[in-house]
Structure 1
C-alpha cells in the first residue's frame, strides 16, 4: 500500500515569541590584524589577514527563508558596526537556491560564507571549495564553539575535518498524546509503561470513556501515519525505525563497533509482538493502516480515539485551534504522555529528527578568514544573537513580556527585521525566549514543544550520511517489503514464526547490499572502522 506522507511546514517558534531580555553578554573582539594563516581544504595557505582596522568586507549567500534584505536596515548596520564588517549579502528564493548555488559551485567562485542545507556541503567539499576551520575555532570563534554542542561539531565533520559550522535544530518533534479527560472519567492514571498502556487502551475502547452509551471509541488511533503512532512503542524497546515504508530505509544503531539494521533486529521483532497483542485485543482503530490523514484528523477531532503520536503541533494547533475540537467535544483535553512509555528492559524514547538544520561554510578563497570567524563569533554572543533576531532594543522591542514595539512588529511583518537570524543558532536562548511567552496559545503549545524536546531521542546512526547508489536502487523494494510484512505480522496475516524467512528475503531483496554500501560510506566520511551486524 502507498504509505501516507507528511508535509511539514518549518515553524520557527522563536520568531513568534518574546525577545530575550538584555543581559550582560560577552563582547566579541573587533576583527583586526592577525598572524594566522588558515589552510584551505586542499591544504594550501589562505591569504594573510590585512592589518587595517577598517571594516572588513564579507560576502554571504543564503536562501531568503521568507526574509527581505534592505540596505538601509538599521539592525544590520548595527551588526556591521559591532563586528567591524561590511556585509555583501545575496539571498535567493528558497525553492531556487540550490540550483543557483550549483552554478556558482561549478564555477568555483562562491562568496566568503555559504549558508547551506543541513548536509548539502558534502556535495562540494571534495571540490576544494571550503576551508578546514578545525584548528582556528578556539582562537577566533570561542563563543561560537562553546555555544554549539560538541555532538553538532562531531556530526558535521567530513573525513575527520571540520569544514562547516552547524546550525542547531530541535531534534525532538513528535509527542505521544492521550485524552486526559478520558483518564479522569475512568479514574485512570497516566500510563508509564507498556503494561499500563495496554490497560488504558482497553479501557478507552471498552469502558465508554465519553459516556455516550455507545461502543464507538478506540484506544489507539492515528492523525497522520501508523509509523508515528507506533513510535513510542518501538522506543520502549530501545529502537526508532523511523517512517516505515520510506523509499530509502536504513535506520540502524551502533553497538560494540557494529551497525545493526533496525528492520531485522530482535528489538523490532519484540515490538511487533507487542503491537500484535494490541491488534488482537481490538484496541486499535481497524482503519489504522488505510485511513487518510485528513480523515484521521477528523476522527480524532470528533472524539473517537484516545491516543496517537504525531508532530507536537497536531493536538494543540490542528485539533484544538483549527478543527475546533472543544466545540465538537466540550471538555476534551489532550496531554503529552510524559516522560514516556517504558519497556521490559527499562528503555523509553522517541525518534530524533536530527539536530542539524543548516550549515555555514567558509570559502577556501576567503581573503580574511580570521575576520569572518570573528564576525560569526559575535553573532553567537548573547548580544549578537539578540540583535540579529529582535533588532534594536528600545526601538524594535522592549522586554520579554512585551517583545515588539509597533515599529518592531511592522518591521517583522514586512520581513526585513531579521534576515541574518538563520546564520548562527543559540538553541538555549531560543528555548528561553519561547518559555517566557505570556501568550496563552504559545503557553499551550509550549507544553507539547517542551515534552518533545525532553524525551530520550534515538538517532539513526546514518544521520547525515548521503544516499548511496545501492540505497537508491534497492531502497524502494526493501521499503515496500518492510511495510508489507510489518502490517501482515501485526494483523496476523503472516505468523511471526516466519520471522527468519522475512529476514532472509529482506537481505535478498537488497537489504544487505544497501546496508553494506551505507557502512562503507559511514566509515569513509566519519574516518571510522565499524562493521555490519548482518
Structure 2
C-alpha cells in the first residue's frame, strides 16, 4: 500500500507548543451539528430542547474540566449538554468491560483500534449506517471510504473510524558521516552494506579511534531491521511481543511472514551484516534508553525508529548537538531497494480508534449530528485549539498565553480525538513556521511516504487458537531469528524451523484466522502453507 500524502503530528505525541491552526471560516452565529446556522429562538418560546449526551473515552493524557469554556462553546453550537467520563488509558479496557457488562453504556463510546468488535457482538452498539447517510455529510466527507470499509463488522457499520497515520517509522542515517567519507545516500541493500562498512571501519567521526558501528538501534531491534524486511517485500510486525508475525495476501492465498522465503532471504542478508561485524553487538540486548544514549554520543551511524526519535529524543531531549556538534540525521529516502526493486516499511494500520453509539441511545439522530459537527472545519478547530481570539490567534501565530496555559494544564482539548480530520492536521503542520516543527516535518513526511506493508489480518479479531498458541509461537519466532542472524543456529536448519513453527501452533493459528477472515469479509482466501 502506497501513501504519499503529507502527514501531521498526532495529538498524543505532540510535545511542543501549537504554532499553527487551520484557517477556517467560523460563523459568527452558533452553528448546528450539521454545520448550518441555528435559527434564533423566538423569545425562547420555540427554542429546541437541549439534548443531553453522555460519552466515555480513554483520557489520552488529558483532563476533564467541568467549567471548560471550550466545552461550553461546543455545547452552545450543537445544542447539547455533555456528560463525559475520562478513564486513564491504562485502566480503560478493564473499567469499560465492567461498564459494558452492565449493559448500561453512555451514548458515545470511543475505544482503541478494533476493540469495538467484541462489544458489537454483545448487541451494545447501534448500526449507524442509515444515520450517517442521512445526518452525517461532514463525517462521510472527512473520512476516506477505505476507513469506513475497514471498520465494517459482519456487514454492518457500528463505528465511526478515527484515522491513524499508518507510517510511523523512519530509517535514519548520519548525513555528516556520509559527507565526511564522501559517500552518497544509499538507495539499495548493496550500497547500504558498503556504507555500514565505511561507518564501522573508516573512522567517520575522525577521532582516530575504532569506536563506531554502522548498524545500531535506539529502541528494539525489530524496528531497526524493518527496512531490510521491506526490501524483500515483507514486514514482520513486533517480533516476540506475544503475537505471531504478520501475514501477507498473494494470489488469493495468505502466507505467514515468519516461514516465508522472503523472510529467509532477509535473514541471510542480516547475517551477512552480522558476520561483517558492522552491527552493534548489543543490538539484541541493549535497553532503549541505553541505546538512545549510545546514538546521542555518536557511536552508531544508522537506526530505524519512530519518526520522533531523531529530531526530538536525540536532538532535543538528549542534546546530541552539544555532544556531537556536527551531527545531522537524515531519513533514508525514498528507501532501500532489495533484489527485486522492492522497498518499504511496516504499516501500523489506518485505524487509530473508533467511536460507537449505544444501541439504547434515545436520540441517535442528535448523536450523529453532534459528531458530524465535530467533523466540520469549525468543529475540528474548536475542539483542538479552543476559542479563536481567546486561546489562539491565526494559522501563522502561536497560542495566546491563555491558550498555552490551558494546553499545558491539559484541559483545553479533551474532545480532540473523537473525529479525525487528517487533511487539516497536514495543513496545520505544513503552515508551521516553528523551526522545531519544520524539522519534525522532514521525518513525519518521510514516514508517511514509504511503501507500507500491512498485515493481511489487520482488523481481524483474536481467535481462540491465537490466544492459546500465540505467545509460544511468537517467542519461538524471536528465538530463532536471533540465532539465525548471529549464527547460533545455521540456516541449513530452516526446514526444521518451519515444521517446528507449524507444530507449536503456527498452522492452527493461520487456519483459524483465515476462517474468521473469510466469514467477516465474505471472502474465499486459502492458506499458502
TM-score of the pair, normalised by structure 1: 0.90
Mapped to 1, the partners of 2:405 and 2:300 lie a distance apart of: 42
Distance 1:292 1:67, change over 3 A: closer
Deviation by residue 1:131-174 (Cα, 9 ceiling, x = unmatched) = 11123322211111121122221221111211011111222111
Output the CA distance in 1 between the equivalents of 2:308 and 2:120.
36
The question of whether the paired residues in 2 share the 8 Å contact of 1:25 and 1:381 is answered with: no
Distance across 1 between alignment mates of 2:442 and 2:147: 26
Matches within 5 A, 1:258-273: 258-273=253-268
Whole-angstrom distance in 2 between the partners of 1:396 and 1:61: 25
Corresponding position of 1:286: 281
Contact 1:22/1:383, CA 8 A, preserved across alignment: no
Deviations 1:289-325 (A, max 9, x none): 2223233222222212111111112222222222222
Matched, 1:17 2:18: yes
Cross-structure match for 1:92: 87
Residue 496 of structure 1: aligned partner: 491
- Conservation of the 8 A alpha-carbon contact between 2:55 and 2:83: yes
Structure 1 residues 528 and 452: alpha-carbon distance in aligned structure 2, compared to 1, 3 A threshold: same
Contact 1:31 1:371 in 2 (8 A): no
The answer for the alignment partner of 1:221 in structure 2 is 216
Shift of residue 31, structure 1, vs aligned partner: 6.3
CA distance in 1, matches of 2:402, 2:51: 30
**Aligned 1:187-336 pairs, distance under 5 A:** 187-336=182-331
User: Which residue of 2 is the match for residue 362 of structure 1?
Assistant: 357
Map residues 357-506 of structure 1 onto 2, 5 A cutoff: 357-506=352-501
Query: Is structure 2 residue 107 aligned with structure 1 residue 112?
Result: yes
Counterpart Cα distance in 2 of 1:281 and 1:100: 51
Contact 2:21–2:394, Cα closer than 8 Å, also in 1 = yes
Which residue in the other structure is 1:531 paired with? 526
C-alpha distance in 2 between matches for 1:529 and 1:136: 31
In structure 2, distance between residues paired with 1:497 and 1:103: 51
Stretch moving more, 192-201 or 293-302: 293-302
Other-structure match for 2:38: none
CA-to-aligned-CA distance 1:67-123 (integer Å, 9 cap, x gap) = 333343322222222223232323233333333322221121111111112222112
Is this contact kept in 2: 1:19–1:386, CA < 8 A? no
- Which ranges of structure 2 fall in alignment gaps of 5 or more residues? 1-9, 36-45
Q: Which runs of 5+ in 1 are unaligned?
A: 1-8, 33-50
Using the TM superposition, name which of 220-229 and 90-99 deviates more.
90-99
Evaluate the alpha carbon distance shift between residue 410 and residue 285 of structure 1 in structure 2; reply closer, same or farther with a 3 A threshold: closer
Q: Shift of residue 52 of structure 1?
A: 8.2
**Distance of aligned partners of 1:258 and 1:482 in 2 relative to their CA distance in 1, 3 Å threshold:** same
- Cross-structure match for 1:45: none
Q: What's the Cα RMSD here?
A: 2.3
1:56 to 36, 51, 56: 51
State the 1:29 CA deviation.
Answer: 5.4
Among 62, 83, 99, the residue aligned to 2:78: 83
Q: What is aligned with 2:60?
A: 65
Counting matched residue pairs gives: 508
Deviations 1:337-386 (A, max 9, x none): 11111112121111112222211111111122112111111100111100
String of CA shifts for 1:440-460, please: whole Å, max 9, x gaps. Answer: 222222221221122111111
> Would the alpha carbon gap of residues 205 and 392 (structure 1) be closer, same or farther in structure 2, given more than 3 Å must change?
same
- Residues 178 and 306, structure 1, Cα contact 8 Å, conserved in 2: yes
1:511 aligned partner: 506
Do the aligned residues in 2 keep the contact of 1:31 with 1:84 (CA within 8 Å)? no
